[in-house]
Amino acid sequence: MSLAVPGAPRATDGYTNNVFAGKLEQQTQVATVLADKGFIPPELVANEVEWFYQNLGIDDMYFQVETVDTIAQHVLALYGAKIMAFVKNEKELEINLERETEDGAIYIHTSRPGVTAQSGPQYEKRIDASFLDASSTAKSFRLESFRAQGAMSSAIATQLRCYFIRKCNFVKTELAPGEETDMQLISDTDFLQKATANTMEIYLSVIKQVLVRTGPVIEMFDVPGSREKRLVIGYRQKTTQSFFAALSDLYHFYELYSTRKYVEQFSNGVTIICLYLNQVPGSAAPPIENSIFQVIKEASLIYCLPTTPLQSYFQTGQLSVQEVIYGYVGWIFAQHFLNRLGNEYVALQSVLDPNNANQSEVLTKIKKRLRTDTFTRDYILDIIKLYPELIKLCYLNFAMAHYVSPSRSDLPPSLSFQRLQSIPTLTEAELLDKIKKTVSNNHELMIFESYLTFNKHVLKTNFYQPTKVALSFRMNPAFLPAVEYPQPLFGMFLVISSEFRGFHLRFRDIARGGIRIVRSRNREAYSINLRSLFDENYGLANTQQRKNKDIPEGGSKGTILLDYTQQDKARVSFEKYVDAMLDLLIPGESPGIKERIVDLYGRPEILFFGPDEGTADYMDWASQYARKRGAPFWKAFTTGKSQSLGGIPHDTFGMTTRSVHQYVVGIYRKLGIKEETVTKIQTGGPDGDLGSNEIKISKDKTIAIVDGSGVLYDPEGIDREEIFRLASTRRMVNNFDVAKLGKKGFRILVDETNVVLPDGTVVDSGLKFRNEFHLHPLSSADLFVPCGGRPESVDLTNVSTLYTPDGTPRFKYIVEGANLFFTQEARLKLEKSGVVVFKDASANKGGVTSSSLEVLAALAFTDDEFHEHMQVHGGRVPAFYADYVRAVQAVIERNAELEFECLWREGLRTGRARSLLSDELSLGIVRLNEELQGTTLWDNVPLRRLILQEALPALLVEKLGLDTLLKRIPESYIRAIFGSYLASRFIYKYGTEPSQFAFFEFL
């Protein structure tokens, strides 16, 4: 955001006036039409038309674009409305004239300056929804809006507001490199005719800033010779919704009104809103010279969340925009974390046997039911709406901790800070007492107590950052109840925007995990995903923690749940998520753009993001954007990047599959099975990373593949050459040549209905058939390898479908490639029936190992060395890079083999389920790792160097030397390498129950 110096002389009358040369002639034609209609007395026609044309102050653009007949209808409507107002003795007149086409619209309505209408046609919301939010480089709409200066009549003081929306006609839509900032090419032809040279200059400056940022660019200019302010706001198309209408709510709150408003679109994907603002006559609010800065400050906040269910409290002046958005954030927090299980649940848990799969599953179902049914989203919101005064007090408690006080700012105290000073500050105990005395029952108390819990555990936030694209909060996760989340988290982030809500959870300071986009097919699916979002994130991060046993990083995971109306905004949401997180990781040093925030955590943090469902294509952008933001850790910030940025793509080199397949071939090796004779079913198709590489690396007889497009099935074995073709080109099974299926084979796609299978069975819904095929009787084979699918696809309620009528399991071996595909209770039941099961935390760890070694290289090399040895340019693969990739593959296969051998051996020795042994092995390594980092072994320098010489990749040691590596890589990371290597090698060799002398023998 850049601001012009108040009072500085600048030519800011940004558009030429609209002048319609044929106005007088048209006026005569309109009068003739009205006289012919006969509805207005003949002696009044001339006066009414004259008043309409000359006294109302309607912009000439209206007369230029409308037909004579339409204008005559509008004059007639206005006359009729005046008659009705006279009959009812009303002092105000309501007029709503509109015309909509595919290419634009015209709206004219009565409007009181500085007031947001709570009812009526809500034209600005309609304009947002129908035109501005939908604008893209393919089809855009520009807007001109004018407030008429004249009154409706001598007795009625109502003014008219006109909106003119027209489809853009860009000079050039397909832009060549370097043309994105050529105003003569990217602009609409009408804009080029109307914009002054000064406007072109201002807009170009804003556009250049928008193209290198993710958030809004806001500039303010004085209009010479007046107190009027010109506000110019630029942002990328489709990065916010309902923003135009929300801006009106914002400046109305400060008793400002607009005389003119413009929205311009450009073919480079940039939108610019230009507002001319004045103070409402007779206003008792702070002068516009002060309030305009508050509008600028809060425009960034409503860009993140233009509308919320609490919007009416802002529109009516009961709550400020900060208070409303804070109240909305607290509502979201309460939805996820309101503790609603109660003492009865804890008592029930204490008497049930945790090792009994049936009892554990029932307890899980009770927990889900209690958390879903006790406090619904709507119920929580209804209670919050009852007490706006409590939102105000809770917000004050939050602001006192995180608002950057004027003493730390070069600007004078803002209006929002002055508001804070005007409200008595309550201590936490006094605030809780106030809440107890205000609410009427225990449920209401619990909801507002959750606001206090939120306030108490926010360590830092970008809420008060001058520019932001989403709200982010670094939380202390200590408030999470141990009964629900027994493994304590180290760190937690909450990110909220109008397109999504998301979390990032990690179990150690140095942690790694992917960022996942969660989509919903409909509103019901969204509600389900919403209820399970945090628990799923926690479970995925916990699985990652166990999966990361071989590497220095602990487990983490990020989730981004797209709102059910924003399913096409995955890229925008990811970019906002990353930018908001970086706000909390990088100290702000740009006044007015990114400033320092209140940091109650007080220590630097580095997060490592990896690819997951829906984000694999975004890793390059995130790394480069972190570099642009000045993050010193940019090279290591994301993994799975393209090779040109030094990444080691998991899918290109089959990193995840190399670990999963080691368990498959391990089973074959132990049982003396020839792979070519094995029948296999896999979920996750040839278009995905794990699914495609599993097809390419295996030699079995695959009889069924389930992916996003449908189900492919052939009991004689799917044509391997054809599925190899699909896997090589990353295409779904809907591209399979069905001519290559056997007589009993079929392909059912998700959009098909009433399909007859070869055996005569009718499939009513292809979507339902796809979703449940792994539970279908046809889903039966020697081996099942889930390579994709939703968490908990198989639990204790449906695991019985994986058995034949005589009780025989339909699979002999299961290697769980997809995270959390089975619940633990389902795994244990299958293992009890004799199925060989290897769970996700053991099998699916190749990707994290590859990512860890990718980060290690990024931390070890300088920027120049990294460019030379790790970045592929113009198809030239550096020799070091090629060798390093092969070394990474070897490490993955070796780690998988070591763990497989340990689990197989321990399973035979103890007779216990390998799903339990896997957890014990993982937890044992994690626990021993943490203990080793704090022992005197670390202080034994010769031993430390000996272990690190073996633990660090030989290629890096050879290239840089051990001393250089120890100097460049953070000590906390080196300690983690030391501990994880020692711990994993010891446990793999001696198992989960080593003797007390085993470690000495190991050393």
Q: What's at 687, amino acid-wise?
A: D
User: CA-CA distance, 624 to 640, in Å (whole number)?
Assistant: 13
Strands (E), 816-956: 836-838
Which one, of 651, 563, 551, 659, lies nearest residue 608 by Cα? 551
Expressed in angstroms, the distance from the first to the final Cα of the chain is 59
Contact residues for 220 (Cβ-Cβ < 8 A; gap 6+)? 3, 4, 229, 230, 231, 232, 292, 293, 296
Find out whether 337 and 503 touch, Cβ atoms under 8 Å: no
Which pair of structure tokens corresponds to residue 232? 């110019």
Find out whether 664 and 783 touch, Cβ atoms under 8 Å: yes
Give me the residue label for tokens 């939908």: 134
SS3 (DSSP) at 80: helix
Bridge partner residues of 962 (DSSP): none
Find out whether 11 and 37 touch, Cβ atoms under 8 Å: no
DSSP 15: B
Which pair of structure tokens corresponds to residue 606? 């580095």
3-state secondary structure 385-431: HHCHHHHHHHHHHHHHHHCCCHHHCCCCCCHHHHHHHHCCCCCHHHH
User: CA-CA distance, 274 to 657, in Å (whole number)?
Assistant: 53
Which one, of 529, 463, 540, 531, lies nearest residue 494 by Cα? 463
Ordered DSSP codes for 148-183: --S-SSSS---EEEEEEEEE--BS-SSPPTT-TT-H
User: CA-CA distance, 311 to 125, in Å (whole number)?
Assistant: 13
557 tagged catalytic:
yes
User: CA-CA distance, 267 to 139, in Å (whole number)?
Assistant: 9
CA-to-CA separations, 184 to 173, 192, 193, 236, 267, in angstroms, rounded = 12, 7, 11, 19, 11
Which one, of 690, 711, 702, lies nearest residue 771 by Cα? 711
Find out whether 773 and 704 touch, Cβ atoms under 8 Å: yes
Check 557, 594, 680, 829 and give the catalytic one: 557
User: CA-CA distance, 245 to 109, in Å (whole number)?
Assistant: 15
875: burial class by Cβ within 10 Å (0-12, 13-18, 19+)? exposed
DSSP 52: I
Q: What's at 52, amino acid-wise?
A: F
Backbone angles phi, psi at 762, to 5 degrees: -100, 125
Q: What share of the chain is helix, strand, coil (3-state, %, to 5)?
A: 50, 15, 35
Find out whether 147 and 278 touch, Cβ atoms under 8 Å: no
Contact residues for 833 (Cβ-Cβ < 8 A; gap 6+)? 803, 807, 809
Find out whether 227 and 288 touch, Cβ atoms under 8 Å: yes
Annotated catalytic residues are 557
